[in-house]
Amino acid sequence: MNQSRKVLDNPSPISPVGKIVGRIDLDKEDTMTNSRRKGKDGELEASAALRTWLGCEARRGQQYSGGTDSPDVLTSIEGVHFEVKRCEKLQLYKAVDQAITDADGKVPVVLHRANRRTWLAIVPLCELPRLAKRLTED
């Protein structure tokens, strides 16, 4: 067995969904857990950045709504949807498309940060006037 990877022999050759499996790769599970943790940490970081730079109320969305369809970050800025991406290589248009889909008519904003870099806000240019109006409303 390769010592650099955590792999266990599966005692049952048939998985619960009926597929034959011989080994369970725990590194994939660890990667998924790390990815979820990084996503959660990114949402918390983005919330703090919004509070600091925009002076608004902001908190992680899923912890309060409980569902996977809830926004990444809830803010006191009406009509703006924030999609948080905390990754090294952002698939820009995929992230913007997701923000637009999830925004449900609100202004879609992607907040992105790579390791050791500053937060970026990405907004479709056609949405910039609506965002400016939302940010300057009392």
Looking at the chain, the whole-number percentage of residues with pLDDT higher than 90 is: 59
What residues does each domain of the chain span? 25-136
Quickly list DSSP for 16-27. Answer: TTS-B-SEEEHH
Contact 46/61 with Cβ under 8 angstroms?
no
What are the angstrom distances between the C-alpha of 127 and each of 50, 54, 79, 117, 132?
A: 19, 18, 12, 25, 9
Domain 25-136 fold is: Trna Endonuclease; Chain: A, domain 1 (3.40.1350)
**Token pair for residue 71?**
């926004």
pLDDT of residue 34: 73
Q: Please tell me which residue, 1 or 106, carries the higher pLDDT value.
A: 106
pLDDT tens digits, one per residue of 14-66: 444 444 444 555 455 565 567 777 788 899 999 999 999 999 999 988 755 44
**Token pair for residue 113?**
């940060």
